[in-house]
Structure 1
Amino acid sequence: MILRGQTRRRIIGAIATSATLAGNRAVSAKPSSVLRIGWLKGTNTLTLLKARQEFLAGMGAEGIDVEWAGPFPASSPAVEAMTASAIDVTVGSSTSSVVALAAGAPIVLFTYQPLGPQGEAIIVRKADDIRTVADLVGRRVAVNRGGTGEYLLRLAMSRYDLPEGSLTTVYLSPADAGNAFLQGAVDAWAIWDPWLTIALTRYDARVLLDRSAIGSENAIVTLASEEFVARDPKCLQLLFDALLQANQWAVAHPEQAGSMWAAAMDLPSTLGAPLGNHNAVPERGIARGDLKTLETIGRWYRQAGMIGQLPNLSKAIVELEPSLPAGPERN
């Protein structure tokens, strides 16, 4: 990937606006190495780790300092930062990761978290007369290019036999898509959480097609650079253990996790409960069995003309096993 103009400035800006190292590093008197995490404002376990850094205590004990870069607006610019050797680890969807790998990004996947049933959908306004997928013909639908939104829309079109060109695809970031949806500039929006919960509770929206009706096989994955994995496998294992322990806590305390996600995204505390209940779902190490799902996504992208070639996904996963027992109960 080549970093140009606004993209490079966006990455530099995200890193420059990271909170001070004193407040955002795991405690370590004499760090022997540094782990640079690019975080996103989203309902993922990395965001919880930033909020509850006690799960990273093992890093400090091993002399590893943790630096937080971001927040990045989406996975794509974070992966670009990783390609530029600015960060070591980030998070994204399996769909966006397949697209990044097809473009040659030097990344690997090491955790896998299938989305919950209420984690993504195509939505419309309650007052509009769009009742079926066929009603989208001639309408304007907002998606993020090459990511989850475009995947959801194109998959729905394929599943319900809507021909190419039967509707207008409007490429917008989630934040811009939300404004366009509110103002009536688009008729529908293919989206995931937290924006799905925001739209349903604050934008007078309703679900046209949920994850199951679309047939989505999307998941949240944690990504690392190939260089980092080769350089510091011990640090990778420690982070993996911390992620699983934080996720176990979230599954046991969904509303508390949701409150932390809401705070990280500057959302009203009233959204904490639905965010937690929709997204505090089990996360695990990625496994060979997940390749089938990833390859299905890749083949679908290839057939849809959204990627030029199917990446070698078998070389893009790192299988890890927890080295710690299930995490202790934490309040």
Structure 2
Amino acid sequence: MTDLKQHSFRRIFLIAFSSLGFIVSACSQQTAVNVAANADSSSKTLSSNQTTTNTNVIRLAYQKGGIIPISRQRGELERQLVAQNIKVEWSGPFDRCATLLNALNGNRADIGGCGDIPSISGIAAGQPLCIGSVQRPKSDALGNAILVRGDSPIRKPADLIGKKVAVNQGGAGEYLLLKVLEKENIPKEKVQRVYLSPNDAAPALYQGSVDAWAVWEPYISVAQLEHQARRITTTHPAPTYGIMVVRGDAAKENPATVKAALTALSQDGEWLNQHSDAAAEFMVKELKVSDAVAKQATKNRGPESYVFPTTEDISNLQKTADWLLEQKIIPQRVDIAAAVCPL
């Protein structure tokens, strides 16, 4: 097992698209990950120089959208890991983080991409998961939004008082709604939360069963471009992390294989950050959405860069976990530092 550069924290991780990430360098076999220019100098880049002597298996779970299905299509991750005697198996697609985390919990997968809110919720519920790598929040990203129908009289968050808003329970949608209400000084009890999966929430909004929907990409672009929905929020008041969630036993029993997979995923993301058109093309193939939806969703989400968490990342995630506990969204406190994978 190799150390991350300037390794200064305790290990274990978590994961999504909610959403939509991208991975593996096509022009280099180096394992160092390029971290965004504004990342602090203590950031840990993903690296893995160790190869295995026996063939290992890593099972990657993916949602409809996100980094992992893009890697599956592109093929570079699989080629890179095969060269390290690691066989890749794919599990999915899953419709949301909750079902993906259940697959990890049930030993049907080893790594999956998810958001920080459902990941923390899963750990709080006792699922044997850890945090492998993280995608830092982007304050100006448009990857989350509260949507209403095009003909709705709702124009701003205050107009949600007395209305029904579809959210995924304990997930990114519920977190977004509560943070927006908090920012606008609207008591959360004055807005009714309706717990629905994205597949159920979309028709509920279009047909008028709910008044609004707190959701993420690519559902936002589908709703806007194909169903004339519109935003009543722009940027997120509390941007969230993306997480590569790891099955706890996989991280303990085969950390070198897990690290190699996380490194390859991050490299794929860095490559696709430089090839946004290719990222959109992969989304079209994966999700069967239009070119317009894919291009807008890719732009809204912004660059995808996964790194091993620093002490600052752990502190930020701890604040989120503590807030979730205060809001009674999770049943017990989560020690984020203890939840980082021992890689």
TM, length-normalised to structure 1: 0.83
User: Which amino acid is 1:194 matched to?
Assistant: P
Question: Where in structure 1 do 4 or more consecutive aligned residues deviate above 4 Å?
Answer: none
Structure with the largest fraction of helix: 1
The Cα offsets for residues 86-106 of structure 1, whole Å up to 9 and x where unpaired, read as 211111001111111111111
Aligned counterpart, 1:131: 155
Secondary structure of the corresponding residue to residue 233 of structure 2: strand
Moved more, 120-129 or 184-193: 120-129
Q: 1:275: how far off? A: 2.1
- Runs of 5+ unmatched residues, structure 1: 1-29, 321-331
Deviations 1:27-78 (A, max 9, x none): xxx9722111111111x21121111112332211122211111111111111
Q: What is the CA–CA distance in structure 2 between the aligned matches of 1:253 and 1:164, rounded to whole Å?
A: 41
Q: Per chain length, whose mean CA-contact separation is higher, i.e. which structure has more relative contact order (CA < 8 Å, sep 6+)?
A: 2
Matched, 1:265 2:287: yes
Identity %: 27
Native 8 Å contact 2:164 2:212 kept in 1? yes
For 1:274, the equivalent position in structure 2 comes to 296
Task: Determine whether 1:296 maps to 2:319.
Answer: yes
The partner residue of 1:156 within 167, 173, 180 is: 180
Partner of 1:112: 134
Give the whole-Å Cα distance in 2 for the aligned partners of 1:217 and 1:317: 20
- Whether 1:94 aligns to 2:120 is no
Letter in 1 for 2:64: K
Distance 1:94 1:73, change over 3 A: same
C-alpha separation in 2, matches of 1:157 and 1:256: 37
CA separation of 1:211 and 1:205: change in aligned 2, threshold 3 A: same
Aligned position for 1:254: 276
* Candidates 254, 257, 262, aligned match of 1:235: 257
The answer to whether the Cα contact below 8 Å between 2:252 and 2:342 also exists between their aligned partners in 1 is no
Paired letter, 1:168: Q
Could you tell me which residue of structure 2 aligns to residue 169 of structure 1?
193
User: Which residue pairs with 2:202 in the alignment?
Assistant: 178
Distance in 2 between the 1:124 and 1:115 partners?
A: 25
Distance 1:123 1:114 in 2: 24
How many residue pairs get aligned? The number is 288
Tell me the CA shift for residue 280 of structure 1.
4.3
Aligned to 2:304, the other structure's residue is in SS state: coil
The residue number in structure 2 matching 1:3 is none
CA contact (8 A) 1:41 1:73 kept: yes
| Aligned residue number for residue 194 of structure 1 | 218
Give yes or no for contact 1:143–1:150 (8 Å, CA) kept in 2: yes
Report if the CA contact (8 A) 1:132-1:208 is conserved. yes
C-alpha separation between the residues in 2 aligned to 1:138 and 1:280?
34
- More displaced, 76-85 or 114-123? 114-123
1:114 to partner: Cα distance: 3.2
User: Unpaired runs of 5+ in structure 2?
Assistant: 1-52
Give SS of 1:176's match: helix
Alpha-carbon distance in 2 for matches of 1:50, 1:279 = 20
In the alignment, the residues of structure 1 paired with residue 179 and residue 294 of structure 2 have an alpha-carbon distance, to the nearest angstrom, of: 30
Correspondence for 2:241:
219
Secondary structure of the corresponding residue to residue 224 of structure 1: strand
Question: Aligned match of 2:104 in 57, 82, 97?
Answer: 82
- In structure 2, the residue corresponding to 1:65 is in which secondary structure? strand
Where 1:169 maps in the other structure, the secondary structure is: strand
CA distance in 2, matches of 1:31, 1:204: 53
Checking the alignment, whether the CA contact within 8 Å between 1:262 and 1:275 is kept in structure 2 is no
What does residue 38 of structure 1 align with?
61
The whole-number CA distance in structure 1 between the counterparts of 2:263 and 2:189 is 46
Query: What is the CA–CA distance in structure 1 between the aligned matches of 2:325 and 2:92, rounded to whole Å?
Result: 31
Q: Aligned partners of 2:177, 2:302: CA distance in 1, in Å?
A: 25
